[in-house]
Structure 1
Amino acid sequence: MKKRFFSLLLAASLLGGLTGCAGNQGETTAAQGTDSTQTVTEAAKENQSAETAKAGAEPCTLTFLSWYPQEKFQPILDAFEKEYPEVKVEFQYAAPVADYLEKMQVLTSTGEIPDVFYIAAENKSEMIKNGYCADITGTEAVSRLVEVNKNTYEENGKVYGFAPTTWVGGYFYNKDLFQKLGLEAPATWDEFLTVCEALKADGTRPIIERGEWFWDSFLGPFMNDYLAGDLNYHQEVIEGTKTFADGWGPYIEKWYQDLILPGYIDEDLVSVSSQEFFSEFATGNAAMLAGHAGHLKEVQKLDPEFEIGFFPMPGTGTDIKVVYGAVDCAMAISSETKYQEQAELFLNFIARDDIVQLYQDMNGYVIGMNGVESDVDPILKDVAGLYSDGKINVYIPQGNWDTYGTGLQQQLIAGSQQLLLKEIDCNTFIQEMQDKLKELKDE
């Protein structure tokens, strides 16, 4: 197997280091930052002007399967239609994550892949290595990305996805409730457990998570205590030099003992929908919500006056080296499209300064493009600044599993639900992850 460096997504750093899901194992590449003091170069401005001035694109209708719903994407669609009325966009939507991945699997199996679509951490390697994505390395859109956003969707020196934003996450908390109970945002795992106990004693659900994602509450100690010192861990698991037991094992056990057994995360989480996820937090029934800027926006829609705080998922110490997050899903062009030029035009349009700001307004994430300032929610300003300054890394496991991402993600969801329901023990959970990897590699 070709050695790939799939372990972490490193933010801007002048000292070099990790470059996320790209680059050969052992390679380090300096990632460029998104410093708000940067300005777009004159060359970039000229390129943007030339792109804007391009007239007479061949009329066509691009099919587009979006990760984001139409009401969020509509300002971008309207702007594109106004400037390029000859290129229509037929918008389709499938909700992330599971529904979107299932939709893409159906489309690839039937040969009906849209002209433009999204690839994500869970399926990027499969989509790229199976030849579904066109090489967009030479596009203006890709040329404007900072290195980490560019490299995340790179394979063998070619870029196959345009991801202009990065999300950073952790725990959002109810500031009024914390103040009422005399609690402060925890800086360590032990402090986090103390907060959970106080909330439970108050009769408040400590943490709200979704049924497919509550496993992320084990990540704080794993990321900061183990992964920060072994950046190649997941690649070593894929290659067989390490196992899930070596890295995940002790932290899954810690998660089970510290959060599941005391009931700080409860069995009812297995069935929590996205809507309940937001409403439980917004109405005060749950004190903390694990999520990112997109989730924050949804909560604020329900209660614009809600006082919300934020803290990263903590490790056992006070140093935060890695936070829950990832370079966002990327727009890709079908390798079979008849409208390559128009599809590239669409991506280049989104990469313009004014339009990428609309894109960032849509999801609230950190912009990963040279010379473009990120207007993130003040609640996330500190952690976003640490990322942009290259002081922290971001991590989600499913972005590190090569072509086995979808299968391992499904096993992670199923196993964590069984563990929460106490149908299996931690050793079985870990062994089933290892067995699933072997099964996928043997296919």
Structure 2
Amino acid sequence: MTRSLRRLATLAGSLAFGFALMALTAQTATQTAAAGTLVINAGTSDPAPKQAFEELIERFEAENPDIEVKLNVFDHEGFKTSVRNFLSSQAPDVITWFAGNRMKTFVDRNLLEDVSDVWEDNGLKDAMPSSLSAMTVDGKQYGVPWSYYQWGVYYRRDIFEEMGLTAPKTWDEFMAVNEKLKAGGVTPIAIGTKYLWTAGGWFDYLNLRVNGLPFHLELMDGKVPYTDDRVRAVFDKWRQMVDAGHFLENHATYSWQEAQPFVFQGKAAMYLIGNFFVPFFPAEIADKMDFFQFPVINPDVPMYEDAPIDTVHIPARAQNKEDARKFLAFVARADNQTAMNKVLERLPPNKEATVKDDRFLQAGFTMLSESEGLAQFYDRDTDPEMAKLGMQGFQEFMVKPDRLDRILDRLEKSRQRIFKQ
């Protein structure tokens, strides 16, 4: 029987998942005790991540014939609800997870292993500098990134060319482009905020450009009041666009997908979104679409970006930490990140990796590799309850900007309660 056949199949379904989880917990405890066995629990059940991870493990086993990998693949949503159980008892040796606050939550509970030595021994701070801050808590690294994707402004290049416009690089240029588009009968910015998180993207970028990443992360960590003048400065910029009518009308009634046709039909020119937007481009306009980096607002603030990162970690209670460290170093290698992200059609965090020949991925790779640091997105960087309340406030502000004081006071009371500060 081959190693791949010895791996457990994907666990899915509600009742079946629960019974399988209990059985798996007992099995994992036995497996982790076996010498030369590396147990990995992964929430990679979607076809592309599943294929990428299985091929990675085949390569790892080929280079390490003395190590047998037991890969347990879980339904993505089921994994997110069960990971705390994995970490608290009968922990596997490696788990897949996410950077930012979602990682820090487990670090603060002493459930993840400090792997700063893996970063140091393999030169990862030089190889993956833009991911470093997202993997670091109190100066120590607690995992390794293996895939990410860029955010930015996707736009109709043909409309820009017809109106004599070029991609803006500064806030003043951006506002001028918006005004010319509006005067020409085109909505400058498409957005659908029915499900809130797209408004979180606008807050992220405005805050990153006005105040920078260190301040942004302090706010996400509950250490800064939402009534702080620096936060108000973010909403001042945002309100310039709201008051000028630069956003799609009635955006709160549209999901992010329902707002797409406005761009595809040429009724709107731009969309601030992640690279997962690209596969939705209709064939007839795909060549007319382009991408630019969110413009500079404060020239004294470095260019930080939103780039949600998928990661691997060693649980603090893992049994086979020696082989787990070998695996994390293997995942971090440029050749392996090239192979994985070719399957995923996403970006490798290792700057020495090769990116798939796709103009949007190439543009994103260059931008993120040169970034001074990465945020993970509002709902990954802050407490889940705070994220929900914050994004509700952002949507409300975009519809009723005169309520800003009331919104910020409400968010500040929530911050004090949630973070107990």
Report the counterpart of residue 108 of structure 1 in structure 2.
84
Matched, 1:405 2:383: yes
CA distance in 2, matches of 1:344, 1:303: 47
Matched, 1:160 2:137: no
Report the counterpart of residue 80 of structure 1 in structure 2.
57
Report the counterpart of residue 232 of structure 2 in structure 1.
249
Bigger shift: 316-325 or 282-291?
316-325
Contact 1:220 1:314 in 2 (8 A): no
Match of 1:188 among 165, 170, 174: 170
**Closer/same/farther in 2, CA of residues 276 and 239 from structure 1, 3 Å limit:** closer
Shift of 1:264: 2.2
Match of 1:352 among 329, 333, 337: 333
**Closer/same/farther in 2, CA of residues 182 and 406 from structure 1, 3 Å limit:** same
Contact 1:364 1:377 in 2 (8 A): no
Match of 2:154 among 169, 172, 191: 172
Shift of 1:281: 3.8
Shift of 1:185: 1.5
**Number of residue pairs aligned between Structure 1 and Structure 2:** 373
Shift of 1:128: 1.0
Report the counterpart of residue 227 of structure 1 in structure 2.
211
**Closer/same/farther in 2, CA of residues 295 and 154 from structure 1, 3 Å limit:** same
Q: Which amino acid aligns with 1:187?
A: K
Deviation string 1:300-356 (CA, Å, 9 cap, x unpaired) is 586684322222222457788324324724222333445545654543332233211
Contact 1:144 1:351 in 2 (8 A): no
Please, what TM-score do these two structures have when normalized by structure 2? 0.71
Q: Which amino acid aligns with 2:229?
A: D
Q: Which amino acid aligns with 1:133?
A: L
Report the counterpart of residue 40 of structure 2 in structure 1.
62
Q: Which amino acid aligns with 2:233?
A: P
Matched, 1:333 2:314: yes
**Closer/same/farther in 2, CA of residues 306 and 277 from structure 1, 3 Å limit:** farther
Any residues of structure 2 matched to 1:296-335 within 5 Å, and which? 297-299=278-280, 305-316=286-297, 321-326=302-307, 328-335=309-316
**Closer/same/farther in 2, CA of residues 151 and 130 from structure 1, 3 Å limit:** same
Q: Which amino acid aligns with 1:328?
A: I
Matched, 1:217 2:202: yes
Match of 1:143 among 119, 122, 128: 122
Gaps of 5+ in 2: 1-33, 63-67
Identical residues among aligned pairs (%): 18
Deviation string 1:225-255 (CA, Å, 9 cap, x unpaired) is x425x95475389686765432110321331
Contact 2:144 2:313 in 1 (8 A): yes
Contact 2:192 2:255 in 1 (8 A): yes
Contact 2:181 2:188 in 1 (8 A): yes
Contact 1:141 1:348 in 2 (8 A): no
Shift of 1:384: 4.8
Contact 1:210 1:269 in 2 (8 A): yes
**Closer/same/farther in 2, CA of residues 174 and 261 from structure 1, 3 Å limit:** same
Gaps of 5+ in 1: 1-55
Q: Which amino acid aligns with 2:394?
A: S
Secondary structure of the 1:253 match is helix
Shift of 1:265: 1.9
Contact 2:115 2:141 in 1 (8 A): yes
**Closer/same/farther in 2, CA of residues 79 and 360 from structure 1, 3 Å limit:** closer
Secondary structure of the 2:145 match is coil
Contact 1:119 1:161 in 2 (8 A): no
Matched, 1:291 2:291: no
Please, what TM-score do these two structures have when normalized by structure 1? 0.68
CA distance in 1, matches of 2:217, 2:301: 20
Q: Which amino acid aligns with 1:161?
A: G
Query: Quick check: which one's helix share is greater?
Result: 2
C-alpha RMSD over aligned residues: 4.1
Contact 1:233 1:247 in 2 (8 A): no
